[in-house]
Amino acid sequence: RLRVLSGIQPTSGSFHLGNYLGAVRQWVALQESHDAFYMVVDLHAITVAQDPAVLRENTRVSVAQLLGVGLDPERCTLFVQSHVPEHAQLAWVMNCLTGFGEASRMTQFKDKSAKQGSDSTTVGLFTYPILQVADILLYQADQVPVGEDQRQHVELTRDLAERFNTRFGPTFTVPKPYIPKETAKIFDLQDPAAKMSKSASSPKGLISLLDDIKGSAKKFKSAVTDTDTVIAYDEKEKPGVSNLLSIYSAISGRSVEELVEHFDGKMYGALKTELADYYSEWVAPIQERTRTYLEDPAELDKVLAQGAEKARAVAAPTLAQAYDRIGFLPPV
Ligand code: ATP
Ligand code: MG
């Protein structure tokens, strides 16, 4: 069995449609065919300031929501990143193998720091791609199911794995990104040039799965499109309409071609209303299941304790081998 690893930040009370379609939906599918490791990356979350109580709550909600969309702790290893200390430990090693210029080329950092200004941008935000390298390499992952925005970080992971292996001998599996094209990038409903994002989208552009369903339906209905009237898929000329078609296709399982035919001769309003209705029916059971898990904190704790144990069983020997290769004296 090939191994997959991925993570999601507990930076909001719910993940959004982009997170789900770009990444988490693949996680659910891959747990059937792969040896799967999935985590809530709280170490990544603190690259920007977090309120402790809110972070704790959001971490629990994230885990419940992952269970709510269909992750099964019997089929995958689900854990919280800070429960496995090896992540921070290997990250230091990887920091020392990364060029400053190399890290400076990461576009996620450039985008995020540009929005914050240099005084509120932390060194942690600068090096978080390197923590991500450690996250992936610790588990010897073959594939990394993520959205398009993370492709560059998986490339960095490949470079560092190869660099380490060349310098110290074969140690790490060189992973590949796993990014299905159709849902690689879901766009902000109000700004179809920007990716839907927990931290950067305006509330009206962001569909968070646990939000009030009526409110989300309204957001679909007021999504920004264009002044044309024909419903067609054209990312360049009709980014807003194409985004709605991608979303509808992905959650309904109907192909974009089929949908375009279905809407032939109809106005944008028809697409928006139908999508809003379909989404509402689709998301209700997800919310219900997430609530059930949140109401049983003892069960959630059990899942996380088991997950951390299974994760450490893989991460600890990988770190020990890396330490040994580097020349760290083994503890006596
Ligand atoms: P932030 O903007 O604060 O980084 P985020 O919305 O990107 O938050 P993350 O937790 O960083 O959320 O990302 C979790 C996963 O979701 C990653 O694999 C990422 O590539 C994917 N993802 C995030 N936004 C989108 C999007 N708009 N379309 C497709 N995939 C996405
Ligand atoms: Mg992100």
Distance 188 CA to ligand 1 centre (A): 12
In the block, residue with structure tokens 């930040």: 9
Q: What is the pLDDT of residues 86-125, one digit of tens each?
A: 999 999 999 999 999 999 999 999 988 988 877 789 999 9
Predicted confidence (pLDDT) at residue 68 exceeds the cutoff of 90: yes
Q: What is the pLDDT of residues 49-62, one digit of tens each?
A: 999 999 999 999 99
Buried b (16+ CB within 10 A) or exposed e, 238-263: bbbbbbbbbbbbbbeeeebeebbeeb
Provide the phi-psi class of 52: left if phi over 0, else alpha when psi is between -120 and 50, else beta: alpha
pLDDT given for residue 318 in this prediction:
98
Catalytic hit among 176, 185, 198, 214? 198
Distance 197 CA to ligand 2 centre (A): 7
Predicted confidence (pLDDT) at residue 39 exceeds the cutoff of 90: yes
pLDDT given for residue 331 in this prediction:
86
CA distances from 108 to 199, 208, 265, 283 (A): 12, 21, 40, 29
Amino acid (1-letter code) at residue 265: G
- What Rg do the C-alpha atoms of the chain give, in angstroms? 21
CA distance 81 to 302: 16
pLDDT given for residue 4 in this prediction:
98
Mutate to test the pocket of ligand 1, among 106, 149, 178, 189 (most ligand atoms within 8 A of CB): 149
> Looking at the DSSP assignment, which residues form a beta bridge with residue 40?
8, 80
pLDDT given for residue 204 in this prediction:
96
Q: What is the pLDDT of residues 174-201, one digit of tens each?
A: 999 999 999 999 999 999 999 999 988 7
**Secondary structure class of 36 (helix, strand, coil):** strand
107 is in an annotated binding site: no
The arrangement of strands across the sheet holding 3-8 comes to 76-80, 35-40, 3-8, 143-145, 176-178
Q: Given pLDDT bands bounded at 50, 70 and 90, which one contains residue 17? A: very high
* Ligand number nearest to the C-alpha of 45: 1
Q: Given pLDDT bands bounded at 50, 70 and 90, which one contains residue 259? A: very high
Q: Residue 261 contacts by C-beta under 8 Å, 6 or more apart in sequence?
A: none
Q: Can you list the positions of beta strands (E) in the chain?
A: 3-8, 35-40, 76-80, 143-145, 176-178
Whether residue 198 lies in the annotated active site: yes
**Secondary structure class of 327 (helix, strand, coil):** coil
Q: Given pLDDT bands bounded at 50, 70 and 90, which one contains residue 6? A: very high
Beta pairing class for 143-145 and 176-178: parallel
Lining ligand 1 with CB less than 6 A are: 8-9, 11, 18-19, 22-23, 146-147, 149-150, 185-186, 195-200
Do residues 124 and 91 lie in contact, with contact meaning Cβ atoms separated by under 8 Å?
A: no
Predicted confidence (pLDDT) at residue 284 exceeds the cutoff of 90: yes
In the block, residue with structure tokens 């540009």: 114
pLDDT given for residue 120 in this prediction:
83
Whether residue 204 lies in the annotated active site: no
Closest CA to 26 of 189, 182, 153: 182
Mutate to test the pocket of ligand 1, among 157, 197, 209 (most ligand atoms within 8 A of CB): 197
